[in-house]
Structure 1
Amino acid sequence: QFLYFIGTLHARQMPLPDDIKPGDVMHAKADEPSPLEGVAAASHDPFALFSEWFAIAQRSELNDPNAMAISTVSPEGRPSVRMVLLKEHSPKGFTFFTNYESRKGGELLGTKWASLCFHWKTLGRQVRVEGRAVPVSSEAGDAYWVTRGRESQLGAWASQQSRELPSRQVFLDRIAELEAKYPPGTPIPRPPYWSGFTVVPDRIEFWVSLPARWHDRVVFQRTVDGSGNAADEFACGEWSTTRLYP
């Protein structure tokens, strides 16, 4: 069994990892059961199902299996979307890190709603998440900050994200100034405007690509009390499952 990747000039094939079954890959045969078979008819944990799919994606996707599109909306209702990287997932939600003074940071702090989309083309699978976005604790922000490379830390300080930049050189000059301020071996503190968000979902949809576009979709939904200030402070109801038309 092989995966086929279309390049600029030609297709190339790569062997499937030993633990990836043919049915895990896109374009499953019509007579093969969907990976979502039976999910809507039983009580399932969407976080466990996501963990299962994410583990497969980590072994099969060539580039950034943790990449996700995140959509935010302005107070006027104008949407915007961009790609970010998932850094943690648990029954509390889906966590990523960013500049709070960026457009997405400002919109998340303002409206407190977000939607996420993971699309793994190799697998022919997709997961959509909707829910409340809440800032992570300072301790969580600090813990992740120290795992970042020195260059990434300098970049976070140098970038006035989403604001007008007169020239590329201005940005490079800011980095040079910071390199002088924080010589190699000197700890670089976390900027006060840089940390993370956790999206606490009330809706998670799993999608599988099937032949003839007879795709399979199952959505998990629950109620979430939005009065909490942290991901573990929300009162969440039980999950219900529904199968949707393609």
Structure 2
Amino acid sequence: MSEANVALPSMRVSYEAGALDESSLAATWHEQLQLWFDEAVRADLVEPNAMVLATADAEGVPSSRTVLCKGFDERGVVFFTNYTSAKSHDLKATRVAAATFPWLGLQRQVNVRGTVEKVETAETAEYWGERPRGSQLGAWASPQSRVVANRAALQASLTGIERRFAEAEKVPVPPHWGGWRIRPESVEFWQGRPDRLHDRLRFRRTNDLWTVERLAP
């Protein structure tokens, strides 16, 4: 057993970076998320828009992976991906997802859970136009989540796509690619506190009404 494994039980951090109470909470979940996101950006955290996306397939088998949030507002939290990927198959089967923003540098996390929907074609096209050309070509070339023979096979696919669109000023959006929006049923804001008595404030939606609840840590 390595020294690091032996030390695991004693690895801990005293969370003393801040507090979260009801009086300081924004009026809506998306306004609060914007406040914390802006602070994560100002703190120069690595990829502050990265979030861990959790899904389950039709049999209830869970999966998680890190994706990049590309927008949020009162409607929900948006990310983009291949619609033939494993995550998209899960989302089509269950229509629910959860995501966590792990802002460890600020001793914070935000947990979003809700139903999912595809974003409008126009919204996908707008974001697609902002992507680097290399990322656009990669989206065409990669059969995401499928087994491939080797790295050379991926490179060969990319080379073929580069030839296909060599004369194109703009690369079109692939028909198998687009955005998903998580429409929250609950959004929890977690702030680490000393002695593991963390602050957990949750916005929870019942029908169209939102309430704020404090959860025990």
TM-score (norm 2): 0.89
Pair 1:152 & 2:123 matched: no
Pair 1:170 & 2:139 matched: no
2: distance between equivalents of 1:77 and 1:39? 38
Q: Relative CO higher for 1 or 2, CA cutoff 8 Å, sep ≥ 6?
A: 2
Residue 48 of structure 1 aligns to which amino acid in structure 2?
E
Aligned to 1:35: 20
Aligned to 1:242: 213
Task: Quote how far apart the aligned CAs of 1:179 are.
Answer: 1.2
Pick one of 183, 186, 206 that aligns with 2:166: 183
Pair 1:135 & 2:106 matched: no
Q: CA RMSD in A?
A: 1.7
Aligned partners of 1:221 and 1:241 also within 8 Å: yes
Q: Which runs of 5+ in 1 are unaligned?
A: 1-25, 225-236
Q: Which runs of 5+ in 2 are unaligned?
A: 1-13
Aligned to 1:46: 29
Aligned to 1:3: none
Aligned partners of 1:72 and 1:114 also within 8 Å: yes
Aligned partners of 2:56 and 2:94 also within 8 Å: yes
Alignment of 1:66-105 (within 5 A): 66-105=49-88
How many residue pairs end up in the alignment? 204
Q: Which has the higher helix share?
A: 2
Task: Quote how far apart the aligned CAs of 1:203 are.
Answer: 0.4
1: distance between equivalents of 2:100 and 2:162? 36
Q: Secondary structure of 2:169's partner?
A: coil
2: distance between equivalents of 1:67 and 1:184? 34
Identify if the C-alpha distance between structure 1 residues 210 and 140 changes in structure 2 by more than 3 Å, giving closer, same or farther. same
Alignment of 1:190-209 (within 5 A): 190-209=173-192
**Aligned-residue identity in percent:** 38
Aligned partners of 1:39 and 1:218 also within 8 Å: no
Task: Quote how far apart the aligned CAs of 1:183 are.
Answer: 1.7
Residue 33 of structure 2 aligns to which amino acid in structure 1?
F
Aligned to 2:94: 111
2: distance between equivalents of 1:200 and 1:173? 38
Runs (4+) of structure 1 moved beyond 6 Å? Answer: none
